[in-house]
């Protein structure tokens, strides 16, 4: 008898609805619907079950169904002084995990993929599968949560996840200055929540205990005149995933507006990121993964991970 | 080299085309088949036996590892990667006389890149050596297993290793940005990348913790963690283990995430005091070693709150390390705990389970009860902040029936952890130790999907066969249990 046998009628109902045959896709809030390309219109549209199943604030974990809105999860956690690594940009929790994007303040909240402790999904064969476990530290068996995070629903349709939560720091402050070397800012500070740079202005987000923020603010003043601001500027539309060193080159080499999350391996620009090269060996390995998890290619047909 | 060894070696080369082919792609001295080497490679730091090593190879490059894989493919031989052999779950024990690929000669730190906060290393680099090398740059590698003075980063990747300071920073997985892997078919692939969201499936994440069953890591990009400007180390004493465990739950529930929260029971502190004199109180039933890292003011705020929570939960004494020396001594005690135990009994079996933090106190009580019932001495030293228990069972394997009692107690401890909503392993892995319990945590469908991941990397179960998945859920059993002619490698 497995301790993980699933008896949640809502999840079982979704598995039954999905069945074992025919192309299917799962629709969240469509906030990232274009990632990975268009889904074959022949695919039957399903909606993942919603709701927060269990929230153990003292354990810093939350069990939440995939169709739950990110806003609902954020509100529930905030009421207990906590948050997660799910980016705060609307949509559903399942959609966020399926897309796998990190929060802009990844240094403070951690990577989304590291926050996904357990996944439950319905396989191509229509069976409920659990990967990972409910506790904050676990190396029991192969890491299915990592594989599912960012897989765009091509290996299984997510129905529920357990996420690690984190305390919301006591205080928060945004600072800004012009013509400051963003590399020097990152070097000067211990662990800023985020440092943004558009090629001329630098925005710094400090979080933590109030006196620590004051001290970090004073350190920054040694570099130039930082003043307190309400928040960061709106980011351009297109997200780029680039190494920290390459990101620093973008403002000087890309047309239009650019905003770099300094040190985070992320940037935003007015135009989409050019296609990134794919190693043929990695592509072959990825194709084997897809074939093994979805032999009949029924899960989100048309959508491609890594293109 | 003695005459006998030379004769033996010449004969082996003559009779064994596998060894000849391996020597052709490496060199004679980097493919070893002598009895001493094979005996060493047959074991790791676990209590498990049954390993039989084939030839041991010492490659120096990715290309050489690929060449070994190609030879293995031609000879239909399995391959087991090996770092320092410090694993505690039998993950490195070679089953069925496979080729053993030691990473011992791939031990260079290739690059330290402060802008990308990454270091590129070969898999044989020792964990602590890397952090020492990084210190002048203001960084360290966060995962710090107790074996960090000898264990390798390749082994850390294979086991997704933890350590006391993983409470705040996460286990190895969170610190590996990219890894070059030689797959069992001989292809070399770079998984992951230095950007935030590398393209495609997170195969890097899937590989980390694969226990050597998915391929061999040949280059690793590890994340650098900035050294904290301020550190506070506290030692809290308690009259009851339960009080220490409940203090840990209360600290986390209060929203404080210390860098480390380690609990040691009285049997451990007494052993440690006799061994290194770390300054632990030996009259307390348990001590909690807590470390807070961060900026100067914040660490004092958190330390004060932590002390308050400790006192409210029954701490009889609260002490802050007043100097770096005192702090180092307190940690030396924790890190040498297992060495101290080795002085007390001929054998020990270190367990590893995780339970929800709120269940720590109850499960610990069961651990003591179970051990007592089986007549086995137990000590507890563990990563309390993560709910990661490490019951340490002491015994003398020479006494008849002892090992059976130890295993029976261990199985009950595992089941108590599962019943509390926990998992089988927090940082040691499954290896050969916990395969037979996998069915108690996962359904057949769950295990089938884990095997799909495994088969994607290694369709023929050629990499470290016979590990992780229970027999019947993996093709591994076929390869691992294939009869090996006794006169060749027996």
Q: What are phi and psi of B463, to 5 degrees?
A: -95, 115
Domain identity same for A152 and A199? no
| A-B Cβ pairs (cutoff 8 Å, strict) | 269
Tokens, residue B352: 């590893």
Together in a domain, A105 and A163 = yes
Distance from C-alpha of B254 to C-alpha of B439, rounded to nearest angstrom: 36
Inter-chain residue contact B356 with A59, CB threshold 8 Å: yes
Nearest to B450 by CA among B187, B210, B191, B172: B210
- Point out which residues pair with A64 in neighbouring strands: A52, A161
pLDDT tens digits for A109-156?
A: 999 999 999 999 999 999 999 999 999 999 999 999 999 999 999 999
Alpha-carbon distance A86 to nearest alpha carbon in chain B (angstroms): 14
Residue B321 burial class via C-beta count within 10 angstroms: exposed 0-12, middle 13-18, buried 19 and up: buried
- Together in a domain, A110 and A237: no
Distance in angstroms (rounded) separating the CA atoms of residues A251 and A246: 10
Distance, CA of A162 to CA of A132 (rounded, Å): 9
What is the greatest pairwise CA distance in chain A? Answer: 64
* Whether A59 and B196 lie within 8 Å, measured CB to CB: no
Interfacial A residues in 277-306 facing B (CB < 8 Å): 278-279, 281-286, 288-289, 291-293, 305-306
Q: Which residues of chain B have pLDDT under 70?
A: 1-15, 474-490
Q: Answer yes or no: is A1 within a domain.
A: no
**Cα B461 from chain centre:** 22
Name the B residues in 178-197 with CB < 8 Å from any A CB: 183, 187-191, 193-197
Q: Taking a C-beta distance cutoff of 8 angstroms, is the pair B470, B439 a contact? A: yes
Identify the CA nearest to A285 among candidates B204, B374, B251, B53: B204
Which residue is closest to B212 within chain A, CA to CA?
A: A142
CATH number (domain holding residue A180): 3.30.70
- Is residue A65 located within the same domain as residue A115? yes
**Residue that finishes a domain, picked among A167, A195, A211:** A167
In three-state secondary structure terms, B408 is helix
Q: Is residue A213 part of a domain?
A: yes
**Cβ of B203 and A212 within 8 Å?**
no
Whether B109-226 and B345-439 share one fold: the answer is no
pTM value? Answer: 0.95
Computed over every residue of chain B, the mean pLDDT equals 92
Task: Calculate the alpha carbon distances from A277 to A243, A269, A306, B339 in Å.
Answer: 14, 19, 9, 49
Rounded Cα–Cα distance for residues A3 and B416 (Å): 12
Contacts of B456 in chain A (CB under 8 A): 285, 288-289, 291-292
Assess contact for A82 and A166: CB atoms under 8 A.
yes
Using a CB-CB distance cutoff of 8 angstroms, which residues of chain A are in contact with residue B301? 209, 211
Across the interface, which of B200, B294, B429 has its CB nearest the CB of A305?
B200
In this structure, the answer to whether residues A231 and A87 fall within a common structural domain is no
Q: Both A159 and A244 in a single domain? A: no
Does A159 share its domain with A175?
no
- Is B223 near chain A, with CB under 8 Å? no
Q: Give the domain range for residue A127.
A: 9-167
Q: Is B173 on the interface with A (CB under 8 A)?
A: yes
Residue-level pLDDT, tens digit, chain A, 307 residues: 345 678 899 999 999 999 999 999 999 999 989 899 999 999 999 999 999 999 999 999 999 999 999 999 999 999 999 999 999 889 999 999 999 999 999 999 999 999 999 999 999 999 999 999 999 999 999 999 999 999 999 999 999 999 999 999 999 999 999 999 999 999 999 999 999 999 999 999 999 999 999 999 999 999 999 999 999 999 999 999 999 999 999 998 988 999 999 999 999 999 999 999 999 999 999 999 999 999 999 999 999 998 6
Q: Which residues of B touch A166 (CB under 8 A)?
A: 257
Res B486: pLDDT: 37
> Fold for domain B109-226?
3.30.465
pLDDT tens-digit series, residues B259-299: 999 999 999 999 999 988 999 999 999 999 999 999 999 99
CATH number for B345-439: choose from 3.40.50.300, 3.30.70.2740, 3.30.565.10, 3.40.50.2300.
3.30.70.2740
First to last CA, chain B: 22
Q: Does A134 touch chain B (CB under 8 A)?
A: yes
Cβ within 8 Å, pair B442-A102: no
Residue A85: closest CA among B444, B170, B477: B170
Q: What is the pLDDT of residue B48?
A: 87
Instruction: Give the CATH number of the domain where residue A28 resides.
Output: 3.30.465.10
Per the structure, the count of domains in chain A is: 2
Phi first, then psi: what are they for B119, rounded to 5°? -125, 135
Residue A297 covered by a domain:
no
CB contact under 8 A, B358 and A59: yes
Angstroms from B57 CA to nearest CA on chain A? 25
Residues 383-412 of B with CB under 8 A from A: 383, 386-388
Q: Is residue A282 assigned to a domain?
A: no
- CA dist B392 and B406 (Å) reads 10
A299 is a domain residue: no
Verify whether the Cβ–Cβ distance A102 to B209 is below 8 Å: no
Give, for B91, the enclosing helix (H) or strand (E): none
Residues A68 and A92 in one domain: yes
Q: What does the domain layout of chain B look like in residue ranges?
A: 109-226, 230-333, 345-439
- Which residue, B355, B350, B374, is CA-closest to B418? B355
Q: Round the average pLDDT of chain A to a whole number and report it.
A: 95
Q: Show residues of chain A in contact with B187, CB under 8 Å.
A: 281, 284-285
Give B442→chain A minimum CA distance, Å.
6
Q: What pLDDT is attached to residue B484?
A: 42
> Which chain A residue lies closest to B253 (C-alpha atoms)?
A58
Structural tokens at position B433:
């130790």
Query: How far is residue B214 CA from its own chain's centroid?
Result: 17
Classify strands A24-26 and A44-46 as parallel, antiparallel or unpaired: parallel
Residues of B in contact with A151 (CB under 8 A): 201-202
Contact B202 A150 (CB under 8 A): yes
Q: Which of residues 232-271 of A touch B (CB under 8 A)?
A: 241-246, 248, 261, 263-266
Together in a domain, A199 and A237: yes
Query: Do A154 and A30 share a domain, yes or no?
Result: yes
Q: What whole-number distance in Å separates Cα of residue A5 and Cα of residue A2?
A: 5
Going by CATH, does the domain composed of B230-333 fall within 3.30.70.2190? Answer: yes
Predicted ipTM of the assembly: 0.96
Three-state DSSP class for residue A230: coil
CB contact under 8 A, A142 and B425: no
Structure tokens of B61? 């490059």
- Residue A196 phi/psi, 5-degree rounding, is -110, 150
Q: Taking phi first (over 0 means left), then psi (-120 to 50 degrees means alpha), and beta for anything else, what does residue B225 get?
A: beta
| d(C-alpha A110, C-alpha A86), whole Å | 9
Question: Is the CB of residue B469 less than 8 Å away from at least one CB of chain A?
Answer: yes
Distance CA B64, CA B59 (A): 6
| Pair (A190, A133) in one structural domain | no
Domain membership flag for residue A286: no
Bridge partner residues of A288 (DSSP) = none
Residues A254 and A178 in one domain: yes
């Amino acid at each position: 008898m497995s301790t993980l046998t699933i008896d949640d009628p809502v999840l079982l109902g979704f598995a039954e609805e999905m069945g074992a045959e025919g192309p299917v896709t799962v629709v969240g809030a469509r906030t990232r619907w274009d990632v990975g390309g268009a889904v074959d219109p022949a695919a039957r549209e399903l909606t993942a079950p919603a709701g927060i199943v269990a929230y153990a604030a003292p354990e810093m974990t939350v069990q939440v169904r995939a169709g739950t809105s990110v806003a609902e999860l954020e509100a529930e956690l905030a009421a207990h002084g906590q948050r997660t690594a799910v980016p705060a940009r609307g949509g559903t929790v399942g959609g966020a995990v399926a897309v796998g994007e990190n929060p802009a303040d990844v240094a403070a909240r951690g990577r989304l993929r590291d926050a996904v402790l357990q996944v439950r999904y319905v396989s191509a064969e229509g069976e409920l599968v659990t990967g990972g476990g409910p506790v904050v530290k676990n190396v029991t068996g192969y890491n299915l949560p990592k594989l599912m995070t960012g897989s765009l629903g091509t290996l299984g349709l997510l129905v529920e996840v357990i996420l690690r939560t984190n305390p919301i720091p006591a205080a928060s402050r945004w600072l800004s200055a012009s013509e400051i070397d963003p590399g020097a800012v990152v070097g000067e500070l211990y662990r800023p929540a985020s440092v943004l740079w558009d090629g001329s202005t630098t925005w710094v987000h400090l979080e933590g205990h109030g006196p620590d923020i004051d001290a970090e603010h004073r350190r920054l003043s040694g570099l130039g005149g930082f003043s307190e601001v309400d928040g960061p500027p709106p980011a351009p539309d297109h997200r780029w995933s680039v190494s920290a060193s390459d990101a620093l080159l973008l403002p000087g080499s890309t047309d239009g507006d650019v905003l770099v999350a300094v040190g985070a391996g992320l940037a935003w620009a007015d135009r989409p990121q050019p296609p990134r090269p794919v190693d043929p060996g990695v592509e072959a390995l990825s194709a084997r993964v897809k074939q093994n998890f979805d032999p009949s290619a029924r899960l989100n047909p048309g959508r491609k991970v890594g293109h | 080299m003695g005459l006998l060894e030379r004769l033996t070696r010449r004969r082996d080369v003559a009779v064994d085309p596998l060894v000849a082919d391996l020597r052709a792609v490496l060199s004679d001295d980097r493919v070893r088949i002598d009895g001493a080497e094979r005996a060493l490679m047959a074991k790791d730091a676990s209590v498990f036996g049954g390993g039989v090593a084939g030839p041991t190879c010492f490659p120096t490059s990715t290309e050489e590892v690929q060449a070994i894989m190609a030879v293995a493919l031609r000879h239909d031989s399995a391959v087991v990667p090996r770092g320092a052999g410090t694993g505690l779950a039998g993950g490195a024990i070679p089953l069925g006389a496979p080729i053993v690929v030691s990473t011992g000669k791939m031990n260079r730190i290739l690059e330290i890149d402060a802008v990308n906060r990454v270091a590129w290393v070969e898999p044989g680099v020792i964990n602590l050596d890397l952090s020492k090398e990084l210190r002048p740059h203001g960084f360290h590698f966060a995962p710090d297993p107790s074996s960090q003075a000898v264990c390798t980063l390749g082994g850390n990747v294979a086991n997704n290793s933890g350590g006391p300071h993983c409470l705040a920073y996460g286990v190895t997985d969170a610190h590996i940005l990219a890894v070059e892997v030689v797959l069992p078919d001989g292809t070399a692939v770079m998984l992951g990348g230095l950007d935030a969201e590398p393209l495609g499936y997170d195969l890097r994440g899937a590989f980390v913790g694969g226990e050597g069953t998915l391929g061999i890591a040949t280059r690793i990009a590890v994340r650098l963690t900035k050294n904290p400007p301020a550190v506070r180390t506290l030692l809290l004493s308690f009259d009851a283990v339960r009080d220490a465990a409940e203090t840990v739950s209360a600290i986390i529930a209060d929203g404080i995430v210390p860098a480390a929260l380690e609990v040691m029971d009285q049997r451990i502190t007494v052993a440690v005091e006799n061994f290194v004199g770390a300054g632990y109180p030996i009259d307390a039933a348990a001590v909690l070693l807590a470390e807070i890292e961060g900026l100067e003011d914040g660490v004092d705020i958190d330390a004060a709150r932590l002390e308050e929570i400790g006192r409210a939960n029954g701490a009889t004494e609260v002490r802050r390390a007043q100097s770096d020396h005192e702090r180092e001594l307190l940690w030396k005690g924790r890190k040498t705990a297992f060495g101290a135990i080795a002085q007390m009994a001929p054998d020990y079996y270190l367990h590893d389970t995780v339970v929800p933090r709120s269940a720590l106190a109850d499960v610990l009580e069961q651990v003591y009860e179970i051990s007592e019932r089986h007549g086995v001495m137990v000590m507890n030293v563990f990563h309390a902040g993560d709910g990661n228990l490490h019951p340490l069972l002491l015994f003398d394997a020479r006494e008849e029936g002892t090992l059976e009692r130890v295993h029976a107690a261990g199985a009950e401890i595992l089941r108590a952890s599962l019943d509390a909503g926990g998992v089988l392993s927090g940082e040691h892995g499954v290896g050969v130790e916990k395969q037979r319990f996998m069915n108690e945590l996962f359904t057949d469908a769950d295990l089938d999907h884990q095997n799909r991941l495994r088969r994607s990397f290694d369709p023929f179960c050629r990499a470290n066969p016979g590990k992780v998945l229970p027999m019947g859920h993996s093709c591994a059993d076929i390869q691992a249990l294939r009869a090996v002619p006794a006169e060749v490698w027996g």
